[in-house]
Structure 1
């Protein structure tokens, strides 16, 4: 066999081996890519369902991945919100029990007072309806009980907002959350379009602010009734209004802090807040204020650029 023939034969064999290796690597890459991407939490921006087979653990109520920020994680900085409840009944009042454990794994029982309360608790449905803002009570062993009004079927996210009074998290405000399923036929309500005004119980609330994601801005809410300025707002949680917001799609949480405390029952008509939204898009705002001993909740959709 000539030297020239042997050289040509070796070149052909090398080319064939390279081609085979390229095909194998392409096949492996295709298989890996099909399983990548972000997990979607149950009920976040989708139609809630009480029967959705094939979900992985990250999609099951109460089993969120340990991401930080925006109140979407059950654990942060060593603190964890724990509960044995994965479902709650539909159409009737119920009690949701949970515990906050610290970095040592033990239940936390020392909490600082924030806006007159040691624990703020929020429940909101995945379509941003049905908000409940509660102040649960704590037993001696660190178990909190939140008395919920009747819930509609679907997926609900439950948030806890608190500040530890000792330990490594002393003085640091934290927001942790979990999800629960309310069984039954879940009908989704479309999010109202972005608007700077809304009405509640005969009151009109107008909100103004040049809002940009990741930047702090001043947001002003003005309350009127029958076209006249409202000046008899009463203190509620040490201020004339309490404002929370939830991001459409993932239900990220934002608490807008009032810039002044209440001083007597003569608040309004203008209320100012320190507003900072981490993400752009539509946010559902819930403004709570009190007049004549009655608490009012006004909701509107704002777009953040």
Structure 2
């Protein structure tokens, strides 16, 4: 039996569509007043948490409609550039990191689309994958952004900006760009903790199930419990029940994973499903943020990707 070429083409397109639906967005997000995690260390010890505003739920699968451009390790992509005069920042105290996004003619971009309730998502991570901060900076009318960072430990840091232009050649595309800064002082490297399937944070236990392979879409499940009982009161945070960010050991490559679980008011949990596609093998440090009772929690654990 022979199959017509149109039929073969339709089947190929359908298969491609199915594969694309499983691919995870490698994009970035983040609010200077609601999700900065000062002092977040490798041991995932409790860190300063602050209240975060909840957002109306769409009931869809957030984060599954964008594909970020690259792993965030460049300051330039498709004509857009992350610029900053801040090559160093002080140690041990709050600091402001000032930056802008420019187009090829050098003019700053001032129009950004809202993505997960924010126009700019910003991350800071130390080279040994400690000190994670996730914030939403403020923009001035001229396109200058200011990210108010909590105290930084000495060492090399990478600053990531994630955005979606609402006009121009990049309209409708997610970009993740980054630059490095130095925090003067004696830097002590913290060894990356071994891969683990669970971690305790603020009285909650976060358990991860799944064994992703590099470059392949793979399901991950996160379960949140407290005192051995399932947690079912997770609140929406950035239009989703959990915000999962990953950084690759060695080069700090960036990946952003969203749950596919539908949002239904303040009734999230205990299980959250993800479609993960981490591009590189090795150890990734995962930072999972979730909200209960108006308080944001951040759990950190290491995931080995084969």
TM-score category by the smaller chain? 0.7 to 0.9
| CA deviation after TM superposition for structure 1 residue 218, in Å | 1.6
- Quote the Cα distance in structure 1 between the aligned partners of 2:284 and 2:101: 28
Answer whether contact 1:238 1:261 (CA < 8 A) is retained: no
* Structure-1 separation of matches of 2:102 and 2:214: 32
Pair 1:295-2:296 in alignment = yes
Mean alpha-carbon deviation: is it higher for 98-107 or for 82-91?
98-107
Which residue of the partner structure matches residue 130 of structure 1? 131
1:229, distance to aligned residue in structure 2 (A): 0.3
Distance apart, 1:263 and its partner CA: 2.4
**Correspondence for 1:190:** 191
TM-score where L is the length of structure 1: 0.77
Distance in 2 between residues matched to 1:262 and 1:199, nearest whole Å: 24
Match of 1:248 in 2: 249
Shift of 1:128: 0.3
Deviation at 1:216, TM superposition (A): 1.0
Partner residue, 1:45: none
Task: Work out the CA distance in 2 between the residues paired with 1:297 and 1:71.
Answer: 22
Which residue in 1 is equivalent to 2:233?
232
Q: Name the structure 2 match of 1:101.
A: 102
- 1:292 Cα deviation from its structure 2 partner: 0.9
Tell me the residue number matched to 1:64. Answer: none
Determine the structure 1 residue equivalent to 2:37: none
- 2:178 match: 177
Could you report, residue by residue, the CA deviation over 1:171-198 in whole angstroms, capped at 9, with x for unpaired residues?
A: 1001000000001111111100001111
| Larger Rg over CA atoms | 1
Alpha-carbon distance in 2 for matches of 1:125, 1:295 = 21
Partner of 2:165: 164
* More contact order relative to length (CA 8 Å, sep ≥ 6): 2
Q: Which residue matches 2:208? A: 207
Matches within 5 A, 1:1-305: 69-305=70-306
Root-mean-square deviation (Å): 1.0
Shift, 1:261, TM fit: 4.6
Provide TM-score, normalisation by structure 2. Answer: 0.76
Structure 1, unpaired ranges of 5+: 1-67
Q: What's the offset of the Cα at 1:105?
A: 2.4
2:48 is matched with which residue?
none
- Using the alignment, how far apart are the partners of 1:143 and 1:297 within structure 2? 29
Moved more, 169-178 or 208-217: 208-217
What residue in structure 2 maps to residue 58 of structure 1? none
Cα contact 1:242–1:289 (8 A) shared by 2: yes
CA distance in 2, matches of 1:137, 1:184: 28
Gaps of 5+ in 2: 1-68
CA contact 2:242–2:258 (8 Å) conserved in 1: no
Shift of 1:266: 1.0
Report which stretch shifted further, 98-107 or 166-175.
98-107
